[in-house]
Amino acid sequence: MLLSALGQGAIYAPMALGVFIAFRILNTPDLTIDGSFVFGMTVCAMVTVAGHPIAAVFAGTAAGMIAGLVTGILQTTLQINAILSGILTMTGLYTINYMVLGGQANLYLQSMQTNETGVEVPVASQTIYKMMASVFGSGEISALVLSAIIVVVVSIILCIFFKTRPGMAIRATGDNEEMVRSSSINADRSRTFGIMLANSLVGLSGAMLCQQQRYADLGSGNGMLVVGLASVIIGQALFGKRGVTIGVVSAVVGSVIYRIILQGAYQIDMPSYMVKLLSALIVTIALVMPLTKEKMNTMRIRRAGEKEAYK
């Protein structure tokens, strides 16, 4: 029960990290995410069907990166508004994704092969999750372990990267672009690179989901950005706004908690159409939490002050 929520949370964690980089570090509302998630998924599906499951995960990541590059160019070189750039890329990606899947909306990870009697039969493709299961025994645990390993590795790489020069440049660009421009760092390049990094993570997430559920579907990206934002906001409510390392951890934890809450919501006996309202309320609560804390602090200080005054 908790295992499956953890597994789902881990699969969507790179996507939450991508949202975190775009929204928190770069301060850019990037709407490419709904499209790049599916792009990572469709490219991964095609490479998986061709028989290269491990390469497929990297291909999906690269696909997300290309989507980010397009949005970055629209934003910087062509000076198009950030929100609009993302929408344009996302809209264009719909057609691209459709074409990648060979003009269909849904692709199951299988290929037609001739069996010993000479008949063409569909054979399920190998995926990284199946490889893992064949080594460590089947089940949710091996899938969770594999997703967790990927997420941990990616998180460590990210934390280290943001301490390096180019990583610092991206953070600085998000913090104060004017200052960065005046200090001879190429802000456009940093911004584009940041958006590419964010979307490559989103593409990785799409690729992981594709291999775990064994099919690619064009509808999979719907509302992905909202899920990512909810994860980031929940993480932030718990850990506060601190350094990048804490931020990376909080996005991952937020993603897992979001899934646990969602699972809980479907678990209790409430009509499933109520879940949407519930997730809206959860995000609202998470957003209000820091404010209430501040209010309570001021109240405490004020009371202490009043006590002092009446002494």
Partner 1 sequence: MKALKKIFLFTVVTALVALSLSACGGKTADNGAETPENVKPKLKIAIVQPMSHTSLDQIRDTIISELEASGLNTEIETLNANGDTSALATILQNVKSKGVDIVIPIATPTAQSAKSVFDGDGTPIVFAAVSNPVAAGLTGEDCKDITGVSNNIPSDEIVKLISNFQPDYKKIGFLYTSSETNSVATIAAAKAYCDENGIAYEESSIASLTELQAAVNSLLSKGVDALYTGNDNSIASAMPTYTDAAYAKKIPVYCGADSMVADGGFATIGVNYVQLGKQVAAMVEKVAAGTSPAEMPYETLAEYAKFVNLQAADKIGFALTDQMLEGFSVLVEKDGTSHFGQ
Q: How far is the CB of 239 from partner 1 (least distance, A)?
A: 6
Which of 134, 138, 164, 298 lies at the binding interface for partner 1 (CB under 8 A)? 138
Interacting stretch for partner 1, rule CB under 8 A, among 22-30, 75-83, 170-178, 272-280?
272-280
Binding of residue 238 to partner 1 (CB under 8 A): yes
Nearer to partner 1, 59 or 283 (CB): 283
**Which residues, at least 6 apart from 294, have a Cβ–Cβ distance to it below 8 Å?**
none
Interacting stretch for partner 1, rule CB under 8 A, among 156-164, 167-175, 190-198, 255-263?
255-263
Which of 163, 181, 241, 276 lies at the binding interface for partner 1 (CB under 8 A)? 276
Which of 19, 57, 66, 227 lies at the binding interface for partner 1 (CB under 8 A)? 227
Looking up tokens 């997430």 gives 205
Contact string 77-116 vs partner 1 (x = CB under 8 A) = -----------------x---x-----xxx-xxx------
Which of 84, 121, 179, 301 lies at the binding interface for partner 1 (CB under 8 A)? 121
Binding of residue 179 to partner 1 (CB under 8 A): no
Question: In the complex, which residues of this chain contact partner 1 (CB under 8 A)?
Answer: 1, 4-5, 8, 12, 94, 98, 104-106, 108-110, 121-124, 138, 212-215, 217-220, 222-224, 227, 234, 237-239, 257, 259, 261-278, 281-282, 285-286, 289
